[in-house]
Structure 1
């Protein structure tokens, strides 16, 4: 259900300049609730006690990029207040620093699911680091996250922040070179 009242500081888990907003969903002071939620990509105003004021954002309503001033940011929205439509839009954002898909072949696709099973199309990810960054970016907000390889086989799955696949034994083998290790490919 979509919200019909403006988000305020009470709806934020952190506010002020002493928190980093990079990689977080933020509330922008605005005149309508559907235009307040953005994902912060980066900017010299995104860090703790920022050196500047510019923040680069993605609208969780339209998916469009925006440049705002840090003073327009009320704070980081509490994850439980993020509406489903915003979660679906967030699931379509590639991590900061992701390689250009025009020049790089994707190795993985990332999916994020709502509790009722709805999801948006997969997001292409070119490296293992991009895949892990996608998971970290989505984890605070999504019910279930899945990474698949190019053959659409699941290589990693989390639900409510808990690892479902691979198993703990497989992860330990990954870190044990004597056993030959495992890879995500």
Structure 2
């Protein structure tokens, strides 16, 4: 995909204040960016939350991670142009996105991770895996990545694949195994590994 000069409203699947932007890749308005950051790669951020990230927000703070350099930055909701159409996300930004752990999760220093998450581009390229502490973090990682990545894989500590999604569709394990796992969680037990 060729580098764009800038992203516009036409490149967004949704704009305005009526939608939630938390957990999505957002486009910032060019006018909100510092002069030295006027290319399209500096317009793309992953929104991790904040009072301004909700639909019809009561606050204005939007917490983000830059998909150009990984820096965490707070913006105002008025700086947000909209949610980027997933197919327009450049490969370099997809690789940066794949390295973001879910927010509000266990500190890596406090728990030994049970899983690692990987996201792949269509040509097979990927960045190093992201450590995930437990099943909840693994599911949140999948949710973050599924709309933007060609392939998402979760592996256990022995690097065996326990979950795989291709083009947004689960290919491993089967739906039957997933249903049993979810039923086990509802019953308070963890009968089946992710």
The TM-score normalised by the length of structure 2 is: 0.89
CA distance in structure 2 between the partners assigned to 1:175 and 1:98 by the alignment: 20
User: How do residues 1-185 of structure 1 correspond to structure 2 at under 5 angstroms?
Assistant: 1-30=1-30, 31-174=38-181, 181-184=191-194
More helix by share: 2
CA distance in structure 1 between the partners assigned to 2:102 and 2:109 by the alignment: 16
CA distance in structure 2 between the partners assigned to 1:174 and 1:75 by the alignment: 36
Unaligned runs of 5+ in 1: none
Distance 1:57 1:173, change over 3 A: closer
Unaligned runs of 5+ in 2: 31-37, 185-189
SS state at 1:45 partner: helix
SS state at 1:158 partner: strand
- C-alpha contact 1:7 1:27 (8 A) present in aligned 2: yes
SS state at 2:52 partner: coil
Question: Which consecutive segments of 4 or more residues in structure 1 shift more than 3 A?
Answer: 172-177
Deviation at 1:2, TM superposition (A): 4.0
CA deviation profile, 1:83-128 (whole Å, cap 9, x unmatched): 0000000000001212111111111000000000000000011010
CA distance in structure 1 between the partners assigned to 2:157 and 2:168 by the alignment: 24
The TM-score normalised by the length of structure 1 is: 0.93
CA distance in structure 1 between the partners assigned to 2:178 and 2:74 by the alignment: 40
SS state at 1:38 partner: strand
Distance 1:104 1:47, change over 3 A: same
Deviation at 1:174, TM superposition (A): 3.3
SS state at 2:100 partner: coil
CA distance in structure 2 between the partners assigned to 1:99 and 1:173 by the alignment: 26
SS state at 2:82 partner: strand
- C-alpha contact 1:37 1:60 (8 A) present in aligned 2: yes
